Amino acid sequence: MDGNLNSRGLLGEFDMSESESRSKNFIEEIIEADLASGKHSTIVTRFPPEPNGYLHVGHAMAICLNGGLAREYNGRFHLRFDDTNPVKEEMEYVQSIMEDVKWLGFDWGENLYFASDYFEQLFEWAVHLIKAGLAYVDDSSAEEIREMRGNLTEPGRESPFRNRSADENLDLFERMRKGEFGNGEKVLRARIDMTHPNMNMRDPVLYRIAHAHHHRTGDAWCIYPMYDFAHGQSDAIEGITHSICTLEFEEHRPLYDWFIENLPVPHQPRQIEFARLNVTYMITSKRKLLQLVKEGHVRGWDDPRMPTISGIRRRGYTPESIREMTARAGVAKRNKINDLALMEFCLRKDLEEKAVRRIAVLDPVKVVITNLPEDTREVYAGPNHPAKPEMGEREVVLTREIFIERDDFMEDPPKKYFRLAPGQEVRLRYACYITATDVVKDAEGNITEIHATMDPESRGGSTPDGRRVKGTIHWVSATENVPFECRLYETLFTKEDPNEVDPSTGSGQAPSTGSGQAPSTGSGQAPSTGSGQAPGTFLDNLNPHSLEITKAFGEPALAAASVGERFQFERKGYFCVDPDSKAGSLVINRSVGLRDSWGKQSQRS
Ligand code: ATP
Ligand code: MG
C-alpha cells in the first residue's frame, strides 16, 4: 500500500447516485397499488425471527426491508418472535435479536409479539379445522408419513387414519394437549389433498407432540404448532398487510392462503417473497454459525469475523453502512450473491465522512533522527479530518526517536519506491522531511533501527526551495505514544462460497497472506482448519489467517479512546476500539482497509 493519505477518490467504483434515484422495487409497487385502491389504508410489516441463534447479515436485509417499508409508507413495523420450537430456542437469542434490530435503527415501539402468545388461539383454530372435517389426528410415525407423502412425480397415499370422525379427532387432539401421548405418537394433520402437485398441500402436519420446556410458556404445552400453521395466522392476528419472506417460502404460499381461507381469521395478510441476501465469503445459515461458535472456530457469536450483526457491529460497521448495503443490494426476485466489496465500500463511504483521522504504526521499526537533540519535543497540528475543518485538530508530537511502518523503508529499493530509503527523502506526515542515512541490524541481519537526518527548513511540511518530495509516510513518537493490540482480520473463509467443497482434496487451502499489511508478531489465534473433521465440510474452507494480532503504537490522542470509537488510521484503514479493551490496554480492530478491493477482485475473476 503506498502513500494514499486521503481515501477520497477510492470510492469511485460504485455509482453514488444509484440509491438515491433508484426506481421502485416490486414490493413497493404492490404496496402503492394496495394503498391507491383502498385495499389498505395503513400497511403493517413484520420481522419474524426464530430465536434459535444470533441474527446475521441476511436478516439485516429482512429487517431493513420490512422496517424500511413501514417507515416509507408511514405504516407499522412489528417484531415477532416465531418461537414455536421449544427445543432450540433461548432467551439469550431473544435479547440479542432485539438489540440487533434496534442497533440497525428500527423501532417496533409497542409492537413486540411472540407466536407463543397465540398458542391458545391457534389451538382453537385447529379445533375449528377438525370440526369442519379439515384436520385429523394421525397415529402414523414420522417415517410412515414421509413414505406416504409420495414425491414430485408420484402422488401421495392417504393415511389409514385420515377418515376418523370429527368427534374422535377432537377427543384425540384434546388428549394430545393433556399429555396422554408420548413424543411422536400422534400428530394433527390438515386434510387437504394427498395427490396435490404441491407437496406442501399433501396433508401437512399442523401439530406435533414435544414434551419440552418452552422459554416463555414453560410446561403449559406439550403440543406445538408447526411453522406453517403458526406463521400466517400470527400475521392475521396482528393485522399484517404484507408478509414479506424469502423465496424458499414461495412453495408454501398455497398453504398459507389455504389456512387464511379456511379459518375465521380477523385479517387477510398477503405473502410476498423476495431473494435472500448472500454475501461472498460469508455463511448465512444459523445452524452453521452455531457450529462455528460451539466448536470454537471463532471466539463467539460476536467475533468480528462472524457475519452476525453483533460480529459486524464489533468489527466496526455502522448501522448506516449496513442499511446502505441492503438498499444497494436491492430487492430481487432471484437469488444472487453480493460481493463483500459492496459491504466494505458502504462502510468506507460512511466513515470517510465521519471518522476522525489518527495515526498508528501497526508493524513498527524505529527511526532515530540523529541531528535532533535527545530532548526534542516539537508539536505540530494535524486536522482531525482533511476536508472538515469544523472537526478540529489535534497535536502531533515529534521526538528524536519515532516509529514508522517496517514496509515504509527499503534498504535497496526498486525504481518507483518513493518511501524511505538510504539517501532518499520523505515527508513525515504533518511534520518535516527526513533522509535515511544508515541502518542498524541484529545478528540475523534484520533491521532494528534506521538512522536519518531532518532538514530543519522543512518544518511544517515544505521547504523554501519548493523541492518536491514524492513520498509521505506516517509515524508516531517512539517515546510519546499509546501502545495497543491491533487485530487485523481477513475473511473467515478462503472461498467466495464457503459451502463449496473440493471433493478431491477434502481440505481448503489457505490463501497467501501477501497483503503487504503488518505481519503477525503475536499469537495469531487463527481458527483451526478443520483437520480431523470428516472430509468435505464448509469447515475445510476456514481461513487460517483470518486473524492476525500485532503490537502497534498509536499517537497520544488515542489515549482517550473509548469502546466502539472509530477512526481512520491514515494509510491503513478504518479501525474500531474493541470491547476487550481495559484501562491501559487498548485493543483495536481493523474494520476495513482503505483500498477498495473491488478492482482487485474483478481482475481476478
Ligand atoms: P433457519 O431457517 O436456519 O432457522 P432463517 O435464517 O430462515 O434460519 P429465521 O429466524 O426464520 O431464520 O428468519 C427470520 C426472517 O429473516 C425470515 O423472514 C427470513 O425469511 C429472513 N431471512 C433469513 N435469512 C435471510 C437472508 N439471507 N436474506 C434475507 N432475509 C432472510
Ligand atoms: Mg427460517
pLDDT tens per residue, range 339-356? 999 999 999 999 999 999
For 592, the 3-state DSSP assignment is strand
| Stretch 454-462: mean pLDDT | 95
Asked if residue 120 has pLDDT above 70, the reply is: yes
Can you give the pLDDT at residue 498?
A: 96
Show the cell assigned to 93: 437469542
301 and 375 within one domain: no
Q: How far is the CA of 248 from the centre of ligand 1 (A)?
A: 10
336 and 438 within one domain: no
469 and 377 within one domain: yes
Hey, which residues does 421 pair with through a beta bridge?
A: 424
Can you give the pLDDT at residue 21?
A: 58
Do residues 224 and 84 touch, judged by C-beta distance below 8 A?
Answer: yes
Pocket test for ligand 1, best of 50, 252, 253 (most atoms within 8 A of CB): 50
Domain count, the chain: 3
- Per-residue CA distances from 104 to 68, 98, 308, 325, 355 (Å): 11, 10, 12, 12, 19
Can you give the pLDDT at residue 508?
A: 43
241 and 92 within one domain: yes
| Stretch 113-127: mean pLDDT | 98
Can you give the pLDDT at residue 462?
A: 92
Q: Does the beta carbon of 53 sit less than 6 angstroms from any atom of ligand 1?
A: no
135-149, 295-309, 330-344, 494-508: segment of lowest average pLDDT? 494-508
Concatenate the DSSP letters of all residues of 173-186 into one string.
Answer: HHHHHHT-S-TTS-
Q: Which of 385, 327, 383 is nearest to 8 (CA)?
A: 385
With a CB cutoff of 8 Å and minimum separation 6, the contacts of 450 are: 365, 366, 367, 368, 404, 409, 420, 436, 438, 439, 440
Show the cell assigned to 194: 394427498
Model confidence at 23, in pLDDT bands (50, 70, 90)?
confident
Is 94 among the domain residues? yes
Name the residue at shortest CA distance from atom 26 of ligand 1: 58
For the four alpha carbons of 326, 328, 329 and 332, in that order, the dihedral sign comes to positive
Q: How far is the CA of 246 from the centre of ligand 2 (A)?
A: 9
Q: Does the beta carbon of 48 sit less than 6 angstroms from any atom of ligand 1?
A: yes
235 and 222 within one domain: no
CA 354 to chain CA mean position, Å = 21
Asked if residue 534 has pLDDT above 70, the reply is: no
Do residues 596 and 10 touch, judged by C-beta distance below 8 A?
Answer: yes
Residue found under cell 414420522 = 142
Residue 423, class by beta-carbon neighbours within 10 Å (0-12 exposed, 13-18 middle, 19+ buried)?
Answer: exposed
Show the cell assigned to 294: 460451539
Nearest atom, ligand 1, residue 63 CA: 16
Q: Among 481, 499, 515, give the residue marking a domain's end.
A: 481
Show the cell assigned to 301: 457469536
Q: Establish how many alpha carbons lie within 13 A of residue 224's alpha carbon, considering only the half-sphere containing its beta carbon.
A: 23
Taking the alpha carbons at both ends of the chain, their separation in whole angstroms is: 22
Name the residue at shortest CA distance from atom 10 of ligand 1: 49
Model confidence at 3, in pLDDT bands (50, 70, 90)?
very low
Do residues 490 and 543 touch, judged by C-beta distance below 8 A?
Answer: yes
69 and 39 within one domain: yes
Can you give the pLDDT at residue 515?
A: 38
Show the cell assigned to 25: 422495487
Asked if residue 290 has pLDDT above 50, the reply is: yes
453 and 311 within one domain: no
Model confidence at 88, in pLDDT bands (50, 70, 90)?
confident
Q: Does the beta carbon of 287 sit less than 6 angstroms from any atom of ligand 1?
A: yes
With a CB cutoff of 8 Å and minimum separation 6, the contacts of 604 are: none
267 and 200 within one domain: no
Do residues 398 and 388 touch, judged by C-beta distance below 8 A?
Answer: no
3-state helix, strand, coil in the chain (%, to 5): 30, 25, 45
**DSSP-derived secondary structure letter, 581:** -
Nearest atom, ligand 1, residue 49 CA: 10
Ligand nearest to C-alpha 246: 1
For 468, the 3-state DSSP assignment is coil
| Stretch 161-181: mean pLDDT | 98
Hey, which residues does 451 pair with through a beta bridge?
A: 368, 438
Pocket test for ligand 1, best of 57, 59, 247, 322 (most atoms within 8 A of CB): 59
Domain that holds residue 159: 119-228
Distance CA 60, CA 252 (A): 23
Name the residue at shortest CA distance from atom 8 of ligand 1: 286
Sheet containing strand 76-81, edge to edge, reads 44-47, 76-81, 112-114
284 and 211 within one domain: no
Query: What CATH number did the domain enclosing 439 receive?
Result: 2.40.240.10
Q: Does the beta carbon of 59 sit less than 6 angstroms from any atom of ligand 1?
A: yes
Is 397 among the domain residues? yes
- Would you tell me the crossing angle of helices 166-178 and 119-131 to the nearest 10 degrees? 160
Q: Does the beta carbon of 291 sit less than 6 angstroms from any atom of ligand 1?
A: no
Is 274 among the domain residues? yes
246-255, 275-284, 588-597: segment of lowest average pLDDT? 588-597
Residues designated as active site: 50, 276, 286
Q: How far is the CA of 284 from the centre of ligand 1 (A)?
A: 9
Is 512 among the domain residues? no
Distance CA 459, CA 455 (A): 8
Asked if residue 603 has pLDDT above 80, the reply is: no
Asked if residue 55 has pLDDT above 70, the reply is: yes
Residue 247's identity, in one-letter code, is L
Can you give the pLDDT at residue 400?
A: 98
Asked if residue 5 has pLDDT above 90, the reply is: no
Is 560 among the domain residues? no
Residue 557's identity, in one-letter code, is A
Tally Cβ neighbours within 10 Å of residue 312: 28
| Stretch 492-506: mean pLDDT | 84
Do residues 207 and 12 touch, judged by C-beta distance below 8 A?
Answer: no
Q: For the chain, give the number of residues.
A: 605
Q: Which of 399, 122, 167 is nearest to 265 (CA)?
A: 122
Ligand nearest to C-alpha 309: 1
Mean pLDDT of the chain: 91
Ligand nearest to C-alpha 93: 1
Q: How far is the CA of 500 from the centre of ligand 2 (A)?
A: 22
Distance CA 396, CA 116 (A): 59
Residue found under cell 408478509 = 243
Model confidence at 535, in pLDDT bands (50, 70, 90)?
low
Can you give the pLDDT at residue 19?
A: 47
Is 576 among the domain residues? no
Is 246 among the domain residues? yes
Q: Among 431, 446, 481, give the residue marking a domain's end.
A: 481
| Stretch 312-323: mean pLDDT | 98
Do residues 191 and 204 touch, judged by C-beta distance below 8 A?
Answer: no
Name the residue at shortest CA distance from atom 30 of ligand 1: 62
Q: Does the beta carbon of 277 sit less than 6 angstroms from any atom of ligand 1?
A: yes
Can you give the pLDDT at residue 536?
A: 87
Asked if residue 279 has pLDDT above 50, the reply is: yes
Do residues 346 and 354 touch, judged by C-beta distance below 8 A?
Answer: no
Query: What CATH number did the domain enclosing 33 receive?
Result: 3.40.50.620
Considering only the C-alpha atoms of the chain, give the largest distance between any 2 of them, rounded to a whole number of Å: 103
543-575 per-position pLDDT tens digit: 999 999 999 999 999 998 999 999 999 999 999
Q: Which of 28, 56, 11, 75 is nearest to 330 (CA)?
A: 28
114-123, 146-155, 278-287, 534-543: segment of lowest average pLDDT? 534-543
244 and 95 within one domain: yes
Can you give the pLDDT at residue 558?
A: 95
With a CB cutoff of 8 Å and minimum separation 6, the contacts of 509 are: 494
Q: Which of 544, 513, 514, 503 is nearest to 527 (CA)?
A: 544
Can you give the pLDDT at residue 336?
A: 84
Do residues 383 and 391 touch, judged by C-beta distance below 8 A?
Answer: yes
Residue 139's identity, in one-letter code, is D
User: Cα torsion for 464, 469, 472, 473, to the nearest 10°?
Assistant: -100
313 and 169 within one domain: no
Q: How far is the CA of 326 from the centre of ligand 1 (A)?
A: 15
Q: Among 284, 315, 349, give the residue marking a domain's end.
A: 349
95 and 47 within one domain: yes
Is 577 among the domain residues? no
Q: How far is the CA of 55 from the centre of ligand 1 (A)?
A: 9
CA angle 248, 249, 255 (to 5 degrees): 145
Distance CA 225, CA 242 (A): 22
124-161 per-position pLDDT tens digit: 999 999 999 999 999 999 999 999 999 999 999 999 99
Distance CA 366, CA 406 (A): 9
Please state the pTM of the whole predicted model.
0.89
391-417 per-position pLDDT tens digit: 999 999 999 999 999 999 999 999 999
Asked if residue 53 has pLDDT above 80, the reply is: yes
Query: What CATH number did the domain enclosing 219 receive?
Result: 3.90.800.10
Asked if residue 466 has pLDDT above 80, the reply is: yes
Can you give the pLDDT at residue 16?
A: 41
For 319, the 3-state DSSP assignment is helix
